[in-house]
Amino acid sequence: MGSRSQSQSRPRTVSTPSLSKATRSFTDDDRAIEGLPIRLVIALIIGVTSLGIMMQMLSGIGPLEGDTEVNVEFDDQSIDTSASDASVYVVDEDGVEVTDATVVAKADSVRMDNALDAETGHCNGCDDNEVQFDFDGNADLDLPPDQSTGEIEFTVYPPSDSSWSDEVENNKLLVVE
């Protein structure tokens, strides 16, 4: 009995890490999740769950409709320097006619005295999306020396109360000698 009472009365020694010991580093820590603070684990779980719910809600929303790009089309893809006029048609990327748009024609690789502008549908016998430019009378087209071709650049200003925009370079009209 005496030996039993001695073992029970002996205090147990448990090794505890010393707080003053600075040899432990983050890279030497091989503990798994039990080393993370419980608040961080809870915040991580709530964050991932919330992100999943938000992504599921966003996937149910259809694509956001942006502005529709406009472009110009021509009756003839080229004119010569002595041509008096050219018809330009404004359409969007789906082929829908764009009315009440202002079209500006300016020199790209040809010489023009000045830029020309016109509004769609405001010429006699024109379609609602058509503009006619008189290059011979108003712009005096001329090609640079030693060149037999050039181009006229067009910029479209759609109506401000529409969903059309002109951000991509438009078709160019070829000018030949």
- So what's the pLDDT on residue 19? 56
pLDDT confidence bin for 33, thresholds 50/70/90: low
pLDDT digits (tens, 9 = 90+) for 141-172: 888 888 899 999 999 999 888 888 888 999 99
Q: Of 176, 170, 175, 174, which is closest to residue 73 (Cα–Cα)?
A: 170
Between 122 and 65, residue with greater pLDDT: 122
Question: Which tokens hold the place of 105?
Answer: 């024609």
pLDDT in tens, 41-69: 889 999 999 999 999 888 877 666 678 89
DSSP code string of 63-132: PPP-PEEEEEEESSSEEETT---EEEEEEETTS-B--S-EEEEEESSSB-SS-EEEETT-STT--TTEEE
Supply the CATH classification number for the domain 68-176.
2.60.40
Look at 15-19, 37-41, 164-168 and tell me which has the smallest mean pLDDT. 15-19
Can you name the residues that pair with 86 across neighbouring β-strands? 133
Cα–Cα distance for residue pair 55/50, rounded to 1 Å:
9
**For position 15, what pLDDT does the model report?**
58
- What average pLDDT does this structure show over 114-141? 84
Give the pLDDT band (50/70/90) at residue 40.
confident
pLDDT at 80 over 90: no
